[in-house]
Amino acid sequence: MRFQAITIGFVIVAGITYLVGSLASYHSLHAARESFYANQRFAEGFVYLNRAPNHITKQIEAIEGLDIIESRISKEVVLDFPGEILPSAALLISLSENLNQVIVRSGRIPDNADEVIVSESFAKANHFVPGSYLVAIINGKKTKLTITGTALSPEFVYVFRPGSLMPDDKHYGILWMKRDAIEAALNMEGAFNQIIFNFSVDGTGKRNIALKHIDSVLKPFGGIGANERNKLPSDSFLKDEFKQLRTTAVFLPSIFLAVAAFLLHIITSRLISKEREQIATLKALGYSNNEICLHYLKLISVITTASAITGISLGFYIGILLTNLYGEYYHFPNLKPSFPFYLVIVGFCIGLLSGLLGSLTSLLSIIKLDPASAMRPPSPEVYQFHWMERLIPKLRSRMRMVIRNLFKRPLRTILTILGLSMSVMIMILGSFIKDTISVLMETQFELIQRESISIVFPTIVKENVSLEILGNHGVLEAEGIRIVPVKLKNGNLTKDTVLYGLSPDSQLRRNLDRSLKKISLPLEGLLVNQTLAEKLNLQVGDKIWLEVLEGNRSEKEVTVVALVNEFLGQGLYMNRKDVNSMLLEGNVINQIYLRMDPLEENRFIQKSKELPKVSGIVSKSGLLRAFKDMMVRTMQSTSFFITLFTAIISIGVVFNTAMIALSERTYELGSLRILGFSMNEVFEILVYELMILIIAAIPFGCLFGYYISNLMVNMNDTEGFRIPATVSASTYLSAIGLMLFTSGISFVILYRKLKSMDLLSVLKVRE
């Protein structure tokens, strides 16, 4: 019993440790974010526009439901870094006085017109310090800017380039400049192109009314729709990340503790079955059901309480490690490990609950036990041929004994198989994420996004520009696209997203269905992202309204022709001619996809930096690197602990099963030794039985692992990501290999215990 208690204790410790550690780090991150938002007065809403005179802010201030408003100027600029091949850019933005205040981490706030303070992550990635300088192309002119310091802002905890789904601190950052300096640099004297604000009212309905009033005031000035701050890329991404942290923190420990409860059920039920005569005797002597049940509950509570104390203690330590690890890429100025007392209570309650649930049915069997019948020795088991023996008539006698033992108690055999299958399942849950990320990257960046480079223009240009670029050395294909922000409306459901106007024969941006087959772009109609369609309750054939959020702000009813399967973003796709027609414009584009000769790509990028009409150059290789870096950092923060805990639980499950098998059959195995069976022959019987159970458990473990991993991924779906649950053959083999390795270790321990078995004491057990 000691070994079984220890192995179950390990499982409970692993579950509580991961639960407490993950929730502690989540609490620390959440508290740091809320403190950062409040202290720096993070604006509750924002709106972008083309250009409006400063006096328009008076009309915005008069809108009921708004509290503080502040106008700003912002503009994306291309950066020229000597020696840097991949294109770099930055968002140049005026410093705010009342909202979205920055925290200076080093240096000082800019004083002169040619000075900027930069985002800390951008400075670290490029080794900038106060006194460094950079060259920005502002209004087509190269401007040398001196860096006066580094800063953090609640608006840019994560820094995203427009159109990108991943932060890339090496090639995109934030530059804050004095308001009068940026006005002069961008010819924006007496004007603004962005407003940030706070609400004076609560409630979605009242806030939506205020947002609509803002839109009506700014519509003549190119306003593209006022939104609450949860639409900002950084805040939205943080919410998604926190959701995933919270889900993983609860989901995986739930699996761990369910396994522990299952193992406790097996142990207590078999222990009570083994001691049924003693229990019956105690009942006959006058002991009540409550007193006997309390005895077993004390035994279980010792295991669970000791495990809970250990798990909580280790959980606090893991919480510190995780918080420090997350602090490397969550840019909060006041992130410190914290441990709310409720985690101690949760840890104890979860530990005790797993013990109670695991032993509940076993304790009920004590209540139902009749003393008179239980005190009688069990009836001899009826011998009969099993169909397996007829199927394989030449089975050796030892194998016949194994098969009969397995099939004479089918329920026990099934429960043992289920318990062993948990070992494989848990290892799959700890390892499948890397397979999922691999498939996501291959599908998104090789099958869907097939371009090498994207060239972004600040305004629309004629489509023949793509033909001019195609004439450059090294450019193999060029496709112009028209990208426009839109609002999608289906009844009361709305969603702000991006519409991509593509050529019908586009080869560099492919739309795929669920089976990854190409969907041809129709001459009329709309292709809708699958995730977006689910949120708006859209089906193929439905009519839906599109409202353009720039230019003439036109609206058009379109038909959903097909649903697109993609993992990043939530876009819409339409024939570019239809998009141009809807906007009442000619054959124009604002972005070009290029497929390049890899040997000429770097040279072309350097040349493109000099083009005055280009506002940005996005390299897929750079995007891939940023994506890989972020995925690796995110996975590293938890994968080590998940793998460690799943390995511990896997070992515990297999070892516990082996120890139970030995304790249950000690009398039988001892009898065989007395009858003349050698030690190796007795060991062979036990190993055969366990190997049959292990082999039978493997397919079930793989099946459970696949479905539970799907459930886990579906629970982590976010606005920006729809990750495909994938389990590779190598992950299955690793899980199976660990189980077999653990089994081998367990067999060695079994052999040692059999070798040291005292035959006389074993055979006296039943007297």
- Per residue in 382-405, pLDDT (tens digit) is 656 556 656 666 667 777 777 777
Is residue 443 assigned to a domain?
Answer: no
Last residue of a domain, one of 165, 187, 209: 187
Q: Please give the pLDDT value at position 24.
A: 92
* 490 located within any domain: yes
Residue 502 in domain: yes
CB-CB neighbours of 53 under 10 Å = 10
Cα three-residue angle 589-595-601, rounded to 5 degrees: 110
Structural domain count of the chain: 2
Per-residue pLDDT, 313: 93
How high is the pLDDT of residue 374?
Answer: 64
> pLDDT tens for residues 2-53?
767 777 788 888 889 888 998 999 999 999 999 999 999 999 999 998 899 9
Q: Is the pLDDT of residue 636 over 60?
A: no
Q: Collect all residues with Cβ–Cβ distance below 8 Å to 112 and sequence separation of at least 6.
A: 146, 178, 181
Which amino acid is residue 202, in one-letter code? Answer: D
Per residue in 466-485, pLDDT (tens digit) is 888 888 888 899 999 999 98
Do residues 513 and 563 touch, judged by C-beta distance below 8 A? Answer: yes
Task: Write the DSSP symbol of residue 380.
Answer: P
Q: What is the mean pLDDT of residues 222-242?
A: 85
Which has the closest alpha carbon to 326: 249, 399, 269?
A: 249
| 404 Cβ contact list (under 8 Å, min separation 6) | 386
C-beta of residue 113 within 8 angstroms of C-beta of residue 163: no
pLDDT in tens, 95-141: 998 999 999 999 999 999 899 999 998 999 889 999 998 988 888 78
Pull the structure tokens for residue 250: 């609860």
Instruction: Write the burial class of residue 684 (CB in 10 Å: 0-12 exposed, 13-18 middle, 19+ buried).
Output: middle
Q: Which of 579, 597, 615 is the last residue of a domain?
A: 597
Tally Cβ neighbours within 10 Å of residue 555: 13
Q: How confident is the model at residue 767 (pLDDT cuts 50, 70, 90)?
A: very low
Tell me the per-residue pLDDT of 668-711, one tens digit each, with 9 for 90 and over. 777 777 878 888 888 888 888 888 888 999 999 999 999 988 88
Task: Supply φ then ψ for residue 71, to 5 degrees.
Answer: -90, 150
In a domain, 80, yes or no: yes
With tokens 């279980």, the residue in question is 300
pLDDT digits (tens, 9 = 90+) for 618-633: 778 777 777 777 666 6
User: What pLDDT, on a 0 to 100 scale, did the predictor assign at position 262?
Assistant: 80
Q: How far is CA 312 from the centre of its chain?
A: 24
CB 74 within 8 A of CB 94: yes
DSSP character for 95?
P
The first and second tokens of residue 746, run together, are: 């367990």
At residue 640, the pLDDT reads: 67
Average pLDDT, the chain: 83
Looking at the domain assignment, is residue 136 inside a domain?
A: yes
Q: Mind listing the pLDDT tens digit for each residue in 509-538?
A: 888 888 888 888 888 889 998 888 888 888
Please give the average per-residue pLDDT across 306-335, as a whole number.
Answer: 87
Tell me phi and psi for residue 276, to 5 degrees: -60, -35
The answer to whether residue 481 sits within a structural domain is: yes
| End-of-domain residue from the set 130, 157, 187 | 187
Inside any domain, residue 706: no
Cα dihedral angle (93, 96, 102, 106), rounded to 10 degrees? 70
Could you tell me which residues come within 8 angstroms of residue 625 by beta carbon, excluding any fewer than 6 positions away?
Answer: 168
Which of 412, 436, 354 shows the shortest CA–CA distance to 649? 354
Where would I find the H helices in 157-203?
Answer: 179-186
Q: CA 21, 735, 707: angle at the middle one, nearest 5?
A: 75
Residue 158 has pLDDT above 50, yes or no: yes
Show Cβ contacts of residue 286 under 8 Å, excluding neighbours closer than 6 positions: none
User: Dmax of the chain from CA atoms?
Assistant: 104
CA distance 6 to 457: 65
State the burial class of residue 657 (Cβ atoms within 10 Å of its Cβ: 0-12, 13-18, 19+): buried
- Taking the C-alpha atoms of residue 21 and residue 42, their distance in angstroms, rounded to an integer, is 29
Decide if 170 is inside a domain. Answer: yes
Asked if residue 153 has pLDDT above 90, the reply is: yes
Angle between helices 620-664 and 410-442 (to 10 degrees): 170
pLDDT digits (tens, 9 = 90+) for 724-761: 778 889 989 988 988 888 888 888 888 887 787 766 66
Spatial contact of 364 and 289, defined as CB atoms under 8 Å apart: no
- The proportion of the chain whose per-residue pLDDT surpasses 90, expressed as a percent, equals 21
Domain ranges, residue 471 = 453-597
